[in-house]
Structure formats: C-alpha cells, structure tokens
Amino acid sequence: MQCLEPVTNRPTGQLILDYLTDSVIATKPNLPGVPYISPDSRKLVTLDRTTSGATLIVQEITTNGLMFSFDVKTTLNISDVTFYSSQSTHSYDIYASAQDKEDILFLNLLTGKVEIITGVGLFGQYMVTPASEALFVINGRSRTVNCEIGAVSHPSQIVWTTLKFH
C-alpha cells in the first residue's frame, strides 16, 4: 500500500518493518509507490505511477535487507501488476497491464529484460474465470461456456493474449 502525508497528500516513501515485531527497521523516503512482493518472497517490486507513465523498481529481499536490482521506466500507464512463474528460472516474472492502451509489459525479474506485448485488446467478447480444478472460457455475448480447461490445480492467475495472423 502507498502511504500519503495527510496535509500535503504526497507519498511518504517506503517503510521497512520487521515481520515479527512490526517495528520500523528503515525508511526510504525517496522511493514512493505501491509495493508488490513475489510469491516466493524473493523480490519486492514497487510501482511508482506518474503523469508521464510509471517506474517499476525491483529490489531483492535478502537476509541483510533490501538490495536494489534495477528499475524500469515506461510510458505505459500501468494499472495492475501480476507475478507469473518464470520459464527460465525458479523464480517469477511480471506482467503489467496498461489502463489506456492495448499493451502488456513483460519484465524478467532476473535479467531486467523488458518486452511489450501489443494488440492485447481492452475488451473482448470472451472472459476466463477460474474454478477449483479448472478454467472456463465464457462467451460474454452469448453467455455460454466456450470451453473448459480441466486438471488445473487451484488456478489463480490468467494471462490472455491474441495473435494477429498476416
């Protein structure tokens, strides 16, 4: 969560708390934004939104505290960030969706490599929804189940892209 000063309404920066005692260990007032922790608790990604885009600040969580890895500046107005299991390491990568464009930003959290996936689409006729052991693709126009993808154990994240054939 991003904290704001009550009078000026400006971000207060990052506050680092001890997990067991809730005592403040350190502060980083020059690091505003919304923090996201990877599911394996190894990376802290802070999303700092500005009027000209966003910055993703990646830090590694170590026994000695937070260590800066890299930051990525983008002109995309990022609306949400989702961690996804990496296909190249035993860690996670990020998909960040744009609120005003048909683009998704992919960020490899190990290397810092960025890819922009274009033509994703803001709204379509299909929706994917999880169940306990399956995913359902629903046609919103006809209000019917288009297909079921079974044998999926507790699905929690979905990334949907479209391909343009030439």
Per-residue pLDDT tens over the stretch 97-130:
888 887 888 999 999 999 988 766 655 667 777 7
Q: Quick one: 109 exposed, middle or buried, by C-beta within 10 A (0-12, 13-18, 19+)? A: buried
pLDDT score of 68:
94
pLDDT score of 125:
67
pTM value? 0.70
CB 123 within 8 A of CB 138: no
Which residues on neighbouring strands pair with residue 66, listed in sequence order?
61
CA distances from 28 to 65, 128, 140 (A): 12, 39, 45
Report the C-alpha gap between 10 and 4 in whole angstroms.
5
Ordered structural domains, the chain, with CATH: 14-122 (2.130.10.10), 124-166 (no CATH)
Tokens of 138: 């629903």
Q: Quick one: 99 exposed, middle or buried, by C-beta within 10 A (0-12, 13-18, 19+)? A: exposed
pLDDT score of 136:
79
Q: What is the bridge-based pairing of β-strands 65-74 and 78-85?
A: unpaired
User: Which residues of the chain are under the pLDDT cut of 70?
Assistant: 1, 119-125, 140-141, 143, 160-166
Between vectors from CA 137 to CA 136 and to CA 139, what angle results, nearest 5°?
135
pLDDT score of 42:
94
Tokens of 129: 């929804």
pLDDT score of 98:
83
pLDDT score of 166:
62
pLDDT score of 86:
85
pLDDT score of 161:
67
Would you call 76 helix, strand, or coil by DSSP? coil
